[in-house]
């Protein structure tokens, strides 16, 4: 006797489980079982596929002809931070751009001030609200970055809040140390970077990854390489905020340093895009950020896919460049602005998002943790199509309903 059967699933989305990210054309392949069911026992998948006889369970969930999928994965967020920056919206309307705001001591540095002032408890309370909203929107795995402390005490505070969130909610988190996210006011960039490199020894036990913001006016390619080499030497796998605004060669550096992901990539070079093919670095695209910064040029997802690269999608939820925690909204922007197909989008927010952060989730094969969403939608193409609202009907974490 199993614990739970989910019956009456009109279409069940079944991304393929692989030991490396899906690339190029593979991303447009997606198995969908019609008239399907899922059997769960001990919080794990026993069966997920077309309706079949022979299973019994203590509890039945009737999906009432709705569709279902693995729970979504958001592989790039800055969910733990203090305060907000709504005043930047009118600055942007006056034509002041993102890097100019930062150069003048605002932007990320404004959030650094607010994060330093906030207590551990206040940061926990604030991030909890976003995490609850993410769960309600069908996300059960979240990558969470530090980077608003820029000193030992406050970077550790952010990472510890992130870990406490994971202990208190039915989600999996991956924790990323992003010490080199900006240069503190008045600091010398080399001295500061050295401090962050020294901190790696301490944060490596509470972090899954080390990340850096490689951008004009922030950290150079040479500085980013030095930081990534140091993290790799200490056994901490790397990520990079790369080629977001200026084409500095961050994608090439990510591949050279065997980064698990290279994120943003709006300005990535043709060389970098073709190099994705022979690497397992996942291109995590953040089209909500391009949208929110009011730019016209989006990351070249098609170029990356047509060159056999692996692509994923994330919110980049943060208080400055993308203020949404709704990954479904990003799926819509990806369909509209990145010209990705519905199949590519679903693979990007499940199995490839898992590969971008070293998670075992994103699929529903036997033995997988039973993390899934029943969607109030007629088919899988509907979710990126009907944008700006929540389509999640029931969210199941480790076999238990956590939202309906
Ligand atoms: O991924 N680009 C750098 N970091 C964040 C934004 C952080 C902020 O503006 O507070 C990003 O877009
Ligand atoms: Fe980011």
Q: What is the DSSP string of 132-192?
A: HHHHHTTEEEEEEE--S--SHHHHHHHHHHHHHHHHHSS-EEEEEE--TTSPPTT--HHHH
How far is CA 348 from each of CA 32, 291, 309, rounded to the nearest angstrom?
Answer: 16, 18, 12
In the reported structure, the alpha carbon of residue 229 is separated from the centroid of ligand 1 by a whole-number distance in angstroms of: 23
Q: Write the burial class of residue 181 (CB in 10 Å: 0-12 exposed, 13-18 middle, 19+ buried).
A: buried
193 plus 312 within the same structural domain = yes
Which regions in the chain score pLDDT beneath 50?
A: none
Q: Which of left, alpha, beta for 362 (phi over 0: left; psi -120 to 50: alpha)? A: left
Of 101, 102, 314, 318, the one to substitute when testing ligand 1's pocket (max ligand atoms within 8 A of C-beta) is: 318
Q: Whose CA is nearest to atom 3 of ligand 1?
A: 213
Q: Which of 112, 320, 322, 323 to mutate to test the pocket of ligand 1 (most atoms within 8 A of CB)?
A: 320
Query: Does residue 187 share a domain with residue 156?
Result: yes
- Which ligand lies nearest to the CA atom of residue 322 in the structure? 1
For residues 78 and 34, state if they share a domain. Answer: no
| Domain of residue 29, CATH code | 2.30.40.10
pLDDT at 374: 98
Q: Which residues are annotated as a binding site for Fe(3+)?
A: 76, 78, 241, 316
- Residues 293 and 373 both lie in one domain: no
- The sign of the CA dihedral 359, 361, 365, 368 is positive
The ligand whose atoms approach the alpha carbon of 244 most closely is 1
Same-domain status, 210 and 345:
yes
The CA 218 to ligand 1 mean position distance, Å, reads: 11
Which ligand is closest in space to the CA of residue 218?
Answer: 1
Q: DSSP assignment, residue 368? A: S
- Tell the residue nearest (CA) to atom 6 of ligand 1: 321
Sign of torsion over alpha carbons 7, 8, 13, 18: positive
DSSP-based three-state secondary structure for 302: helix
Burial class (CB within 10 angstroms; exposed 0-12, middle 13-18, buried 19+) of 93 = exposed
Q: How many structural domains compose the chain?
A: 2
Residues 6 or more apart whose Cβ sits within 8 Å of residue 186 = none
Quote the radius of gyration of the chain (alpha carbons, Å).
21
Q: Are 338 and 314 in contact (CB under 8 A)?
A: no
pLDDT of residue 104: 84
Pairing of strands 31-41, 44-50: antiparallel
Between the CA of 235 and the centroid of ligand 1 the distance, in Å, is 25
Range of the domain at 141: 73-356
Q: Does residue 396 share a domain with residue 337?
A: no
Domain end residue (candidates: 318, 341, 356) = 356
From ligand 1's centre to the CA of 232, what distance in Å? 23
Same domain for 349 and 381? Answer: no
Tell me: do 40 and 152 sit in the same domain.
no
Residue 254 CA, distance from chain mean position: 17
Q: 383 alpha carbon to ligand 2 midpoint, in Å?
A: 24
Nearest residue to 180 (alpha-carbon basis) of 132, 141, 148 = 148
CATH classification at residue 228: 3.20.20.140
Q: What's the token pair of residue 144?
A: 């969470």
Predicted TM-score of the model (pTM)? 0.98
From the list 13, 312, 290, 12, the residue with the least C-alpha distance to 174 is 312
Binding residues: 76, 78, 85, 148, 181, 241, 244, 316, 318, 320-321
| Same domain as 365, residue 333 | no
Mutate which of 74, 76, 78 for ligand 1 pocket (most atoms within 8 A of beta carbon): 78
Best of 150, 178, 241, 292 for a ligand 1 pocket test (most atoms within 8 Å of beta carbon): 241
Where does residue 271 rank: exposed (0-12), middle (13-18), buried (19+ CB within 10 A)?
A: exposed
- Same structural domain for residues 253 and 319? yes
Q: Which residues define the annotated binding site for Zn(2+)? A: 76, 78, 241, 316
Ligand 1 centroid from CA 320, angstroms: 6
Shared domain for 187 and 258, answered yes or no, is: yes
Specify whether 29 is located in the same domain as 154: no
Residue nearest to atom 9 of ligand 1 (CA): 320
Ligand 1 centre to CA of 347 (Å) is 25
């Amino acid at each position: 006797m199993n614990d739970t059967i989910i019956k009456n699933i009109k279409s069940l989305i079944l991304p393929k489980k692989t030991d490396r990210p899906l690339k190029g054309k593979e991303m447009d392949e997606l198995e969908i079982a019609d008239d399907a069911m899922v059997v769960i026992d001990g919080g794990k998948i026993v069966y997920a596929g077309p309706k079949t006889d022979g299973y019994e369970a203590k509890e039945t969930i009737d999906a009432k002809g709705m569709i279902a999928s693995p729970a979504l994965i958001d592989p790039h967020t800055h969910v733990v931070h203090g305060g907000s920056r709504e005043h930047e919206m009118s600055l942007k309307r006056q034509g002041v751009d993102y890097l100019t705001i930062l150069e003048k001591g605002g932007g990320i540095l404004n959030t650094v001030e607010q994060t330093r002032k906030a207590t551990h408890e206040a940061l926990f309370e604030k991030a909890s609200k976003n995490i609850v909203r993410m769960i309600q929107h069908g996300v059960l795995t979240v990558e969470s970055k530090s980077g608003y402390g820029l000193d030992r005490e406050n970077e550790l505070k952010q990472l510890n809040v992130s870990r406490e969130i994971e202990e208190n909610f039915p989600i999996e988190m991956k924790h990323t140390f992003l010490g080199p996210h900006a240069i503190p006011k008045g600091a010398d960039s080399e001295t500061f970077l050295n401090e962050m490199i020294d901190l790696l020894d301490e944060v490596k036990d509470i972090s899954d990854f080390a990340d850096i913001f490689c951008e004009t006016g922030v950290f150079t390619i040479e500085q980013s390489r030095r930081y990534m080499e140091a993290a790799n030497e200490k056994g901490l796998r790397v990520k990079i905020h790369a080629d977001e605004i200026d084409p500095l060669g961050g994608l090439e550096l990510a591949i050279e340093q065997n980064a698990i992901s290279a994120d943003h990539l709006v300005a990535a070079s043709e060389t970098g895009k073709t190099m994705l093919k022979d690497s397992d670095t996942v291109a995590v695209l953040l089209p909500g950020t391009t949208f929110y910064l009011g730019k016209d040029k989006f990351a070249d997802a098609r170029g990356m896919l047509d060159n056999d690269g692996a692509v994923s999608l994330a919110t980049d939820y943060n208080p400055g460049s993308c203020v949404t925690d709704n990954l479904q909204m990003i799926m819509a922007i990806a369909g509209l602005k990145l010209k990705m197909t519905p199949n590519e989008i679903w693979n990007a927010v499940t199995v490839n998002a898992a590969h971008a952060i070293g998670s075992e989730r994103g699929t529903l094969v036997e033995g997988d943790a039973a993390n899934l969403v029943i969607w109030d939608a007629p088919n899988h193409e509907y979710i990126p199509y009907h944008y700006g609202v929540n389509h999640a009907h029931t969210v199941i974490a480790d076999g238990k309903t956590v939202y309906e």
